[in-house]
Structure 1
Amino acid sequence: MDQLGETVRKGFGNVVDNLGKAVRDAFAQAEGLDIKINGTNISALDDSTGNLTANGTDPLLSGKKTPATFEGLVVAYVAMLVMALVPIYFGSWRSVRFQKHSKTLPKDQQPEKMSAKDAMMFPLIASCALFGLYLLFHFFGKEYVNFLLTAYFFVLGVLSLTTFLSPFMSLIPGVPKEPTYKISFTSRTGTAETPYFDYEFGYKDVAAFGLAVACGVWYMMKKHWIANNLFGLAFSLNAIEFLTLNTVLTGVILLGGLFFYDIFWVFGSNVMVFVAKSFEAPIKLIFPQDLLELGMNAKNFAMLGLGDIVIPGIFVALMLRFDVHLQEKLKRKGYFYFKATFFAYFLGLVSTIVVMHVFKHAQPALLYLVPTCLGTPILLALIKGDFKEMFKYEDHPVDPDAITDKVKTDKILKKEN
């Protein structure tokens, strides 16, 4: 059985590599996408979980590159670090507020939470999606695929950026802070009403929506790196705020699975790199390394995929909520695990940059981020005696009555069938 599995794995790998080589050669001949830095070939950013790239060039931003100076590299890497840390920090705190708010909602309006089974399936689903995009770009051409992706990300980006900008609009003098309008859709059954959609908004939301639409049009027309980063920051912040791991075990399974996913698709195949070169959407943060020389016309970019922010970021946010739990249950003070995990993420990202800069090759950032972000809080929990409490913690504890009701319902349905 093991021999059969090994044969299948090798066969699939050969098919992927051969198909990738043919597509890559054709793509390079048609588009001239050889990327070289000081005579050294490097790979561009990988997409799905995203990897940091040295001196990469976005295919949307064509033109001759200016070699990066030492000062330019420092500015770019510091900017990338700041842009990665900001959404994790603020998204984590917003996730605490979101968790407290969600606990006040009725059971049928509770946000969905990721289970351990979902976490196990995620790398497989992500792999299928990645390889599906690879085939789409190969058989239909990147122009047609990117047209649909641009339309999709325009809508998604405008909504995310509106949510991101709305709190800042309330700081403008004269703008009412309280909602003044309400849109509601309900379904009536007899005398009972079931709400399907209920949204309150005010002038600050309208102003934020207008700015978000303007930014979306700017991105679609110019593909400018600032517009790209605004969308990327909004995506990251909202994802960290609203995505709920629920338990530490779920986080360990998710990050562990994506750890191997990232390594396989970066080092084991060219699929991820090819998709990233072809994919035209704000799924990465970019910053020019030649900003000091060319200003806003810079074309030589360092890049970081949003997955390298969001995936570790939702675990960092979980550690903050765990700290809040320790404060409420055990009367602890401070945010020990959040600060430790946040600093561990910083060290992991710095390690990624250093290795990438030394070897001049794209790095699977989760290779460095997962061990630091998982290992640090778990090791500290073992030392402090919080290991059992950490793995018992749940953002949204399962209601025993709900489980009992579900079991009873399943038994009734089986009898009827």
Structure 2
Amino acid sequence: MEGLDGLNVTLNTTASAASPTSIFDTLQDVSFLLLELKIVSGAMGIIYLGAHGSLRRPPSAAVSKDKKRRKQDDETFSQGLELSDAILFPIMAACVLVGLYYLIQWLQDPAIINKILRSYMTTMSMVSLLTFYAHGIQVLTSFVFPRFWRGRDGKLRRVDQAKRTVAVCDDAGNELENLDAGKANPLPGALGFFTPVAWLQQKAWNLRDLLTRHWLLEMFVHGMGKETAHVKFAHMMALLMAVVTAIVYFATSWPFLSNMLGYGMCYGSFLILSPTDFLTGSLVLWGLFFYDIFMVFYTPYMVTVATTLDVPIKLTYEAASRKSILGLGDIVIPGMVIGWALRLDLWIHYYRKIRYESTDLKIIEKHSGSGESITRSETKHREVKTPYVDVKGNWGERIWTRQAFGLVSSQTLPAEVAASRFPKTYFYASMVGYFLGMLVTLAMLLIFKHGQPALLYLVPGVLGSLLLTSLVRGEFKELWMYTEDGSLDTVDVVVDLDGNGKAIKTIGKLEDGVVDTTKDEKKKDEEKKDDEKEKEKSKENSTEAGQTGRKGHKVFSFSLEAPSEGAEEKDHEE
């Protein structure tokens, strides 16, 4: 992927000495526009999906009270990029690209390296493609089996899988009455016509349970520990689909499947890669910005590798006699900043909900002269964050809870559905910047008839749109201060407020009505003691392991446990 992070090139494979007619020129122009429309819509589509798939609890929100949601939030993983990556990314990309170029020149047969790289890239993209397919199946499930929907009478319905009932609710999701068994159809709206009789409804309930239930996957390896994960039927289906896609692509090299593998790698990258803050994201993009210009305009490496290799490290579209190529890096590099912008919107949304409650407390401070701890009583303000409500997986509910045949959105919705309707100002601004950058890339492609470094136009478009939006809205401070390094994820913090009610200084963390500002030093001492305890414990474990070896022990185990029907709904209610 690094080797092709900046190329958009359209090739014309038609060789004709005769002058084309005006009609032929018109057809060529139309085919070119349709071709580039596929490229742009495909790139923006996967960025849109990947950005929403990367959403997680922002540090401005409190941990969810819901057990299952809290567990999923704890399991969320993201690799934050650091400032050093701004240097490493261009260097690594250059090494890969130059290495591939000279390998092609040395082998003199691209078929050999295509087979090797196709095998490697296909295998490496399997996990990302599995995740992409699984999330897609879950989105489709939310359309067919939503938790909430509106009936023909305009009233809101809520499904309870555990009881296999459907209840009529008010707009906030509070239950008003339960429908009788004959009307307890798990399919919403017009889809209910497919289950007119009781036995078909029973089949629909069984299918809903299959598609929404979580299984507990557990694996144990002696010496490495035990790992558990929650999986759905969608993950099992996605695994099969990913394997079939990889096998068929490897056997046929079908461009459509190559693009699917590319989309999968982009989607997976959005879930695990993220700039820690705006400064880091900007430096990474500007580093690849200059690398992209140099490799496309001043060396033969980029164009040669892109047009020679037939592996899923690019998106390829063909129409008539034209072929258009877009490197995956032109999607992933700007896309991860766009995903960060969407999480910035979510952070700002919850940041504005933070309240400050007046609290009488004791503050422990260290005297500057004697170094002794001094306790004093004072009234301060405690930071109170709103509990997080998961914003993902509500695509179907957002459509089915609309009024007037899905054209009018209700102002009052259940919290689980309304959570996804937060303002997305910076996300949409960055998407517009990306779109304008792509348009400029295509214009330069038509003018100069030469492959263009797309990041030359995409980087200023994305970063410029974010900066301009923050300046217009007067939120440059928020744009600059938002970080995903964990420093903003605070709990029960006591602060000083200014005259406008905004926090200006953090005093410390509140515990049992006491704020101990000397706790950092105590924490270091406790960490040292904990390290010593861990060393002693490891010695004891090694001794016990030697004794257990004489008695026999479990070496490896793998299990898949299915919970009782409706267990997910019960966990959600708790």
Q: Does 1:256 align with 2:215?
A: no
- 2: CA distance, partners of 1:110 / 1:73: 41
Give 1:178's aligned residue. 213
- 1: CA distance, partners of 2:462 / 2:484: 19
Task: Work out whether residues 286 and 303 of structure 1, in 8 Å CA contact, stay in contact via their aligned partners in 2.
Answer: yes
Secondary structure in structure 2 of the residue aligned to 1:280:
coil
- 1: CA distance, partners of 2:243 / 2:72: 32
- 2: CA distance, partners of 1:226 / 1:120: 34
Kindly provide the CA deviation profile for residues 334-378 of structure 1, in whole angstroms up to 9, marking residues without a partner as x. Answer: 221111111110111111112112222110000000111111211
Which one has the largest radius of gyration? 2
- 1: CA distance, partners of 2:99 / 2:431: 34
How many percent of aligned residue pairs carry the same amino acid? 30
Aligned-pair distance for 1:157?
2.6
| Residue number among 311, 316, 325 corresponding to 2:347 in the alignment | 325
Give 2:274's aligned residue. 244
- 2: CA distance, partners of 1:204 / 1:132: 39
Secondary structure in structure 2 of the residue aligned to 1:54:
strand
Paired AA for residue 311 in structure 1: I
- 2: CA distance, partners of 1:98 / 1:212: 29
Q: Does 1:312 align with 2:339?
A: no
Q: Does 1:168 align with 2:136?
A: yes
Give 1:368's aligned residue. 457
Paired AA for residue 86 in structure 1: G
1:66-145 pair list within 5 angstroms: 69-97=28-56, 104-105=73-74, 111-141=78-108, 142-145=110-113
* Shift in alpha-carbon separation, 1:102–1:366, aligned structure 2, 3 A: farther
* Shift in alpha-carbon separation, 1:308–1:405, aligned structure 2, 3 A: farther
Q: Does 1:51 align with 2:7?
A: yes
- 2: CA distance, partners of 1:103 / 1:251: 26
- 2: CA distance, partners of 1:184 / 1:99: 30
Paired AA for residue 180 in structure 1: W
Secondary structure in structure 2 of the residue aligned to 1:113:
strand
Give 1:214's aligned residue. 244
Give 1:39's aligned residue. none
What TM-score comes out, normalization by structure 2 length? 0.54
Secondary structure in structure 2 of the residue aligned to 1:395:
coil
Secondary structure in structure 1 of the residue aligned to 2:79:
coil
Task: Work out whether residues 216 and 228 of structure 2, in 8 Å CA contact, stay in contact via their aligned partners in 1.
Answer: no
| Residue number among 223, 228, 234 corresponding to 1:198 in the alignment | 228
* Shift in alpha-carbon separation, 1:331–1:360, aligned structure 2, 3 A: farther
- 2: CA distance, partners of 1:56 / 1:97: 44
Give 1:3's aligned residue. none
Task: Work out whether residues 102 and 110 of structure 1, in 8 Å CA contact, stay in contact via their aligned partners in 2.
Answer: no
| Residue number among 126, 129, 150 corresponding to 1:158 in the alignment | 126
- 2: CA distance, partners of 1:337 / 1:405: 40
Aligned-pair distance for 1:102?
9.3
**Unmatched 5+ stretches in structure 2:** 14-23, 60-69, 142-203, 355-421, 491-519, 532-574
Aligned-pair distance for 1:181?
5.1
Kindly provide the CA deviation profile for residues 111-162 of structure 1, in whole angstroms up to 9, marking residues without a partner as x. Answer: 4311111222211121112112223223345333332211111212332221
Paired AA for residue 121 in structure 1: L
Q: Does 1:284 align with 2:251?
A: no
Number of equivalenced pairs: 342
- 1: CA distance, partners of 2:446 / 2:462: 22
Aligned-pair distance for 1:72?
1.4
- 2: CA distance, partners of 1:200 / 1:281: 33
Aligned-pair distance for 1:252?
0.5
* Shift in alpha-carbon separation, 1:344–1:236, aligned structure 2, 3 A: same
Give 1 or 2: higher helix fraction. Answer: 1
Give 2:444's aligned residue. 355
Paired AA for residue 84 in structure 1: A
- 2: CA distance, partners of 1:113 / 1:121: 14
Aligned-pair distance for 1:405?
5.9
Aligned-pair distance for 1:168?
3.3
| Residue number among 426, 430, 454 corresponding to 1:337 in the alignment | 426
Secondary structure in structure 1 of the residue aligned to 2:467:
helix
Paired AA for residue 10 in structure 2: A
* Shift in alpha-carbon separation, 1:99–1:177, aligned structure 2, 3 A: farther
* Shift in alpha-carbon separation, 1:327–1:212, aligned structure 2, 3 A: same
- 2: CA distance, partners of 1:307 / 1:56: 23
Aligned-pair distance for 1:97?
3.2
Give 2:375's aligned residue. none
Secondary structure in structure 1 of the residue aligned to 2:74:
coil
Aligned-pair distance for 1:280?
2.4
* Shift in alpha-carbon separation, 1:384–1:334, aligned structure 2, 3 A: same
**Unmatched 5+ stretches in structure 1:** 1-45, 58-65, 291-298, 413-417
Task: Work out whether residues 122 and 312 of structure 2, in 8 Å CA contact, stay in contact via their aligned partners in 1.
Answer: no
Secondary structure in structure 2 of the residue aligned to 1:116:
coil
* Shift in alpha-carbon separation, 1:146–1:98, aligned structure 2, 3 A: farther
Aligned-pair distance for 1:241?
2.4
| Residue number among 269, 273, 286 corresponding to 2:299 in the alignment | 269
* Shift in alpha-carbon separation, 1:405–1:269, aligned structure 2, 3 A: farther
Task: Work out whether residues 76 and 302 of structure 1, in 8 Å CA contact, stay in contact via their aligned partners in 2.
Answer: yes
Task: Work out whether residues 3 and 94 of structure 2, in 8 Å CA contact, stay in contact via their aligned partners in 1.
Answer: no
Paired AA for residue 443 in structure 2: V
* Shift in alpha-carbon separation, 1:200–1:236, aligned structure 2, 3 A: same
Paired AA for residue 159 in structure 1: V
Paired AA for residue 317 in structure 1: G
Kindly provide the CA deviation profile for residues 322-344 of structure 1, in whole angstroms up to 9, marking residues without a partner as x. Answer: 11111111249622111111111
Task: Work out whether residues 103 and 110 of structure 1, in 8 Å CA contact, stay in contact via their aligned partners in 2.
Answer: no
Provide the alpha-carbon RMSD of the alignment. 3.2
Task: Work out whether residues 56 and 300 of structure 1, in 8 Å CA contact, stay in contact via their aligned partners in 2.
Answer: yes
- 2: CA distance, partners of 1:133 / 1:81: 27
